[in-house]
Amino acid sequence: MCYIWYHHLVAQTIFIARHGQDEDNSHGILNGQRDTPLTDIGREQANVLAEQISKRGLSFDHILSSPLKRAYETAQIITNKINFTKPIQVLPDLIERDFGILTGKPVTDIARVCGDNVIKTDRITYFLSPKGAETFPQLIQRGRKVLSEIDQQNLVGNILLVCHGDIGQMIYAAATGKPWREVLTEFRFGNGDLIEPNSDNPHVLTQTQHNL
């Protein structure tokens, strides 16, 4: 699912989008910082996201992307659809969370490796601290660093960040000041949906049949 958020800063509106489905997503693999490309469904989802951006009359002054293929390709699809002519800026800190020993493992391994050290929602199980993985408090710190890097570059206007599930939610937490546990259970950040939330009540604008 693809989500969009906004956060108001001085002369800035920051939007956050998640990439479309990638090959690991389609096979139930925990990808983290693995660099697999979009599937055909993922490209379809990115196109739907771009269409929603166009329909809502949104334009961007800057588009920043994670260095991973699935995010950068999503950003490219958006720029082509909305005729954004500036270069996409790759921001390394937009990379997905390091999943540690769970990187490349099937989603079903979460219970075996983590036991009760998880947060369960209706559809997602978030693992908290398997060996070698970034924790959510660490990820919030990286989210704050992303926002600081944007300020340091003096970027103004509408800014789109194209990234991933866990880091995207923690950027949202950093921007709104909400506790990370609350953010994880407040809404789902998957491939294929478009969301325009405010700080109180994110709401789904579109939803494809390919929910991951």
Q: Is 182 one of the catalytic residues? A: no
Angle between helices 40-55 and 69-82 (to 10 degrees): 40
When computed from its CA atoms, the radius of gyration of the chain, rounded to whole angstroms, is 16
- For 204, which DSSP code? E
Which of the residues 7, 62, 73, 96 is marked catalytic? 96
Instruction: pLDDT tens for the chain, 212 residues: list them.
Output: 555 555 554 578 888 999 999 999 999 999 999 999 999 999 999 998 999 889 888 899 999 999 999 999 999 999 999 989 999 999 999 999 999 999 999 999 999 999 999 999 988 999 999 999 999 999 999 999 999 999 999 999 999 999 999 999 999 889 888 899 999 998 888 886 756 545 445 544 544 444 44
Helix, strand, coil share of the chain (percent; to 5): 40, 20, 40
pLDDT of residue 77: 96
Q: Establish whether 164 is a catalytic residue.
A: no
